[in-house]
Amino acid sequence: PYDNVDHTGVLNHSTDDLQARVKRYYDTGMQLHFHTMGDGAARAALDAIEYARNNGSEEHLELRHTLSHLALIDPADMSRFTELNTGASFTLVWGTTDEWTYNLEVPVLGKDRVARLYPIRSVAEAGGMVLGGSDWNYGDLNPLISIEAGLTRDDPYGPASAGEFEVFDDETVDLKTLIDAYTINGAWQIQAEDVAGSIETGKRADVVIYDRNLFEISPYEISEAQVELTVFDGRVVYRRSND
């Protein structure tokens, strides 16, 4: 429930309707993508996937469904992403210290729950497949914005908060985890990890070269890196002008 009103949000579908819909799509072999912001929505989606897997065709057990955004997840549900072969796609640019956090989220969720927003570290430590999302075109398509946010949990668009809201530190992850979330894990999401998502012999040549080494700069500078060259399936599709 929200802290300031006796309300838990509204699900777009009843439990029975959601489970019936998910099973119907599951049985056709569709990989499903859910919009889940609150812990209630995340649990409803996970319950529906579990229902479909338990009552649907066994030939579809390898389907990789996705829950997106995931502002809040009940701690009891962290391990279910692994159990249900389901990806956890986080929009980390929203999980930062900024005016929105202080003026909206803290008053309605309370500081304890805000400290657990976008719990990418908890899901990763539970063995879940973490994915990087943008929510384009409402969010920012540049992955470096969310990668910086995932490292610092600070506003990548504004000045650093100087540790004013350090409780976010519990859900930070390292740079490799975040790069994987936007590359090889994204390929896993669409069952394409054998041909894309990493630089290996036999895979498509999909490469982005930046003007600095992300592992050698301050996390607060990552969002400022500029793309020098983009190669898509072996073809140069973008080259930065030196003017």
Predicted local confidence at residue 159, as pLDDT = 67
Q: Which residues pair with 127 in a beta bridge?
A: none
Looking at this protein, which amino acid is placed at residue 87?
Answer: G
Q: Which residues are CB-contacts of 200 (< 8 A; sequence separation ≥ 6)? A: none
* Helices and strands, number each (H, E), in the chain: 10, 7
| CB count in 10 Å sphere of residue 142 | 16
Three-state secondary structure call for residue 231? strand
Predicted local confidence at residue 165, as pLDDT = 54
Three-state secondary structure call for residue 90? strand
Provide the strand spans (E) within 21-147.
33-36, 65-69, 86-90, 129-132
CA 37 to chain centroid: 11
Q: β-strand 86-90 against 65-69: which pairing, if any? A: parallel
pLDDT in tens, 14-73: 999 999 999 999 999 999 999 999 999 999 999 999 999 999 988 999 999 999 999 999
Predicted local confidence at residue 154, as pLDDT = 87
Model pTM score: 0.93
pLDDT band at 96 (very low <50, low <70, confident <90, very high): confident
Residue located via tokens 């995931």: 70
Burial class (CB in 10 A: 0-12, 13-18, 19+), 50: middle
- pLDDT > 90? residue 239: yes
CA 93 to chain centroid: 10
Burial class (CB in 10 A: 0-12, 13-18, 19+), 210: middle
Average pLDDT, the chain: 92
Predicted local confidence at residue 160, as pLDDT = 62
pLDDT in tens, 162-207: 555 555 668 999 999 999 999 999 999 999 999 999 999 999 999 9
pLDDT band at 243 (very low <50, low <70, confident <90, very high): low
Burial class (CB in 10 A: 0-12, 13-18, 19+), 74: middle
Predicted local confidence at residue 167, as pLDDT = 53
- pLDDT > 80? residue 161: no
Q: Which residues are CB-contacts of 186 (< 8 A; sequence separation ≥ 6)? A: 131, 132, 197
